Amino acid sequence: MVTVFSPAKINLFLAVTGRRADGYHDLVSVVAQLDFGDDLAAKAHERGAGPQFTLECDGAGVPVDDTNLVIKAARSFALATGWNERVAFKLAKRIPPGAGLGGGSSNAVAALRALNHLAGGRLAEDKLGGVAATLGSDCALFLNPAPVVICGRGERVEPLAGAALGRLRGRRVLLFKPSFAISTAWAYGRMAVRGTDYLASAEAEARVAAWQQGGAPAGEILFNNMEGVAFDKFVALPVLLGKIRTEFGLAPRMSGSGSACFALLSDDFVTAPLVERIRHDWGPAAFVKEARII
Ligand code: C5P
C-alpha cells in the first residue's frame, strides 16, 4: 500500500499564444504547485476476478470508471511496463474539478508514481514523463514538485531559474472558486472562435524571461489571457475580482481556464474579511482554501 500526495496547481502567468494544426493551443505558462491537494492511495490486491484497476473516491460527482484519469494512467502504466498486478485506488478528493487547478492531471501523475512504487520502479523517470504527457496537457508539469515554465501544449517543462524560484516558494495563496465549473475544452474553443485573445509567443517568452532574470516580485508576473472568454460569460468572476482589487489592494487572477481564482497574500494579511467578501458575493457554496506554493 502506498499513498501519494497529488497537489493542485495555479498558473501565475498563462499566455495562450495560438491554435495549432492539431486543434490544441500553444501556450507559455509559469505554474506553481501548492501544498493543497488530493491523496491517492494504491493497494495491490490478491489475484482474482474483476478489473485490474478499481477506484473509490469520496468526492461527489467524480467519475470512478474508465473516464477517470487515475484509471487511464494505470492502464497506460500496465501497457508500458507489462506489469499485471491488480490495484485498488482510493482517492481523497479535495481539488474541485473544472477549476483550472489541474486536479485530474495531478491525479494521473500520482497514479503513475504510486504504481511505479508498487512495481519496484520499473519505469525510469524519462519514460514515466513520456507516459504522463500522453494522458493530458497539464500532466508533465506535475513530475517536478516545484514551480516551472511550461511551453508547447504544456508538455515542454523547464525548471524556473533559482532566483525566481526563491520569489515563489513558500508564498501564501488564497484559492477561491464559485460553485460552477468551466470546461477547459469550452474555454479554448471560445478563444479559437474569437481569435483576438492570443498573445504572440515571442512576447510571452520575453515577459517570462525578463521576470526570471530581473528581481521583480511574484506579483509582477501575474497574467492570464484566458480570462477574457471566461469573464465575458461568467460575469460573477470579474465583478468579485474587481472588488477584491479595490477593497483589499490585492491582484487576484483566474487560474488556467477557471473557474478557480487566486490571490497572493503577504504573511501578515488577515484573511477573514476577504473570505467574508467572497462568501457574500458567491454564496456559501463557494470553495475557499488557503495554501502555500511548494
Ligand atoms: O489535454 P487535455 O485533455 O487536458 O485538454 C482538454 C482540452 O482542452 C483539449 O481537448 C483541447 O480542446 C483543449 N486544450 C487546448 N490546448 C492545450 C490544452 C488543452 O486546446 N494546450
Q: Are 30 and 147 in contact (CB under 8 A)?
A: yes
Distance CA 265, CA 22 (A): 39
| pLDDT band for position 47 (cuts 50, 70, 90) | confident
Dist. CA 34 → ligand 1 center (Å):
22
User: Residue with C-alpha cell 468526492?
Assistant: 59
What digits encode the pLDDT tens for the residues 122-143?
Answer: 999 999 999 999 999 999 999 9
How far, CA to CA in Å, does 211 sit from each of 220, 237, 272, 294?
A: 8, 27, 31, 19
* 138 in catalytic set: yes
Q: In the prediction, which pLDDT does 63 show? A: 95
- Per-residue b or e along 192-213, where b marks 16 or more CB atoms closer than 10 Å to that residue's CB: beeeeebbebeebeebbeebbe
Q: In the prediction, which pLDDT does 262 show? A: 99
H/E stretch holding 264 reads strand 261-265
Dist. CA 65 → ligand 1 center (Å):
21
* Cα separation of the two ends of the chain: 25
Q: In the prediction, which pLDDT does 45 show? A: 87
Average pLDDT of the chain is 97
Helix 69-81 × helix 103-118 angle, to 10°: 40
Q: Is the pLDDT at 46 greater than 80, yes or no?
A: no
Q: Are 27 and 200 in contact (CB under 8 A)?
A: no
Q: pTM of this prediction?
A: 0.97
Name, in order, each residue with C-beta under 8 angstroms of 172's C-beta and a sequence gap of 6 or more. Answer: 264, 265, 266, 267, 269, 290, 291, 292
Query: Averaged over 38-61, what is the pLDDT?
Result: 91
Q: Are 281 and 236 in contact (CB under 8 A)?
A: yes
* β-strand pairing of 2-19 with 223-224: parallel
CB-ligand 1 contact for 9 (6 Å cutoff):
no
Query: Averaged over 66-82, what is the pLDDT?
Result: 97
Q: Is the pLDDT at 204 greater than 90, yes or no?
A: yes
CB-ligand 1 contact for 184 (6 Å cutoff):
yes
Q: Are 13 and 167 in contact (CB under 8 A)?
A: no
Q: Which atom of ligand 1 is nearest to the CA of 152?
A: 21
Choice from 11, 137, 198, 225 to test ligand 1 binding pocket (greatest atom count within 8 A of CB):
137
Dist. CA 146 → ligand 1 center (Å):
22
Domains of the chain: 2-159 (3.30.230.10), 169-292 (3.30.70.890)
Cis peptide before 259 (omega within 30 of 0): yes
